[in-house]
Amino acid sequence: MNRKKTALLALALILCVGMVSAGLLSYYAKIETTVNVAQGILVDGQGYETPITETITGAGGKKLYSWHTITNLGDSPAIVTFDSNVAPSDGGVTVEYFENTAVLILENKQPIGTDHWPIIYDDTKAILTYNLIGKNFVYTLEASGLKPGTDYSLIYYADFEDRFANWGGNNPGALLGTFTTDENGNILLTEHVEDIGMSLPCSPDANIDVHDYTTLDGYVHAHGAKIWLVPSSDYDEISKTIYPNWHPESYLFETDLISYSNLNIDYGLNTESVDSFTIPAHSTASLVICITVNTAIDPSTGPYLVTTTVSPTE
């Protein structure tokens, strides 16, 4: 075969191969998926477009608290960070953040009529530090100015709708613990775990949605659970009531209403302030904002605006 025929044969083979290659599929299908996305971390059940506002009133030297839920809707743990901006930034107030831990001050009060019970500012008081979410109610209790060597009961006092005519605290009410004061009338309880088997407040407590305590009492939270510290001799553990025993001059009453969610999550107390924490997948954590008002604050400089930003961690 001469060179000319060889060249023609090679060209024919190349064309043949090209024609075969042109007949092969480069793909089998194209799948186009439209993904509609939603915010995966919600604060108080709200997206970032909805502002969360609140007003807290307190004197110089006070610590003021507010708590919020942060829910992770995703399949993986999420780390969130917290940052604050205070205006005016003159040192009048400072801000700290805590995870799943809140503080309630219990005070002795002076009953005036039925709807006005001002606080008696003396050395008789208690500080209850407690968890907001968990399978057990976990708390610490520090009290002073009580009767020495006396048993006291920490109770959940649940109101009826007509709370001045039908009272006693057993709607449903609960005993949260019993403790004995030392020779100085103090209680210093580190960490106590109580399986109360309910959330606070618990239905049918009328403080869930009937009574509003932000008006006459000036509480931060309109609804929630009342926590009292009373002499155990006044409290019936079976009926969950203090009626007919009633000696309010010996009681320490709530200064705000609290909320506790009885969920099967092993959260304990976190008494150290944080600037971030991790929320497990498909779960809710609690953020507590602690605002400390300077003792020497000049009221004319207020009001102060504290802005907390909850952000994702890169």
Residue 100 reports pLDDT greater than 90: no
For 52-82, what is each residue's pLDDT tens digit?
A: 999 888 788 888 888 898 999 999 999 999 9
For 217-252, what is each residue's pLDDT tens digit?
A: 888 888 999 999 999 999 999 999 987 778 999 999
- pLDDT-based confidence at residue 269 (cuts at 50, 70, 90): confident
The predicted structure's pLDDT at residue 13: 47
Query: Which of 188-192, 212-216, 257-261, 304-308 holds the top average pLDDT?
Result: 304-308
The predicted structure's pLDDT at residue 46: 92
Residue 2 reports pLDDT greater than 60: no
Q: Whole-angstrom Cα distance, residue 108 to residue 3?
A: 116
The predicted structure's pLDDT at residue 5: 55
Residue 211 reports pLDDT greater than 80: yes
Give backbone dihedrals phi and psi of 224, rounded to 5 degrees, phi first: 155, -160
Give me the residues paired with residue 121 across strands. none
**How many Å separate Cα 205 from the centre of its chain?**
20
For 270-308, what is each residue's pLDDT tens digit?
A: 778 899 999 888 888 889 898 999 999 999 988 999 999
Of the two residues 266 and 143, the one the predictor is more confident about is: 143
For 22-49, what is each residue's pLDDT tens digit?
A: 689 999 999 999 999 999 999 999 999 9
The predicted structure's pLDDT at residue 15: 47
Helix or strand holding residue 17 (H, E): helix 3-21
Amino acid code (one letter) for 250 = S
Domains in the chain: ranges and CATH: 38-100+271-314 (2.60.40), 101-269 (2.60.40)
The predicted structure's pLDDT at residue 3: 54
The predicted structure's pLDDT at residue 114: 62
pTM attached to this predicted model? 0.71
- Residues found in the chain: 314
Contact predicate 99/311, CB 8 Å: no
Residue 4 reports pLDDT greater than 80: no
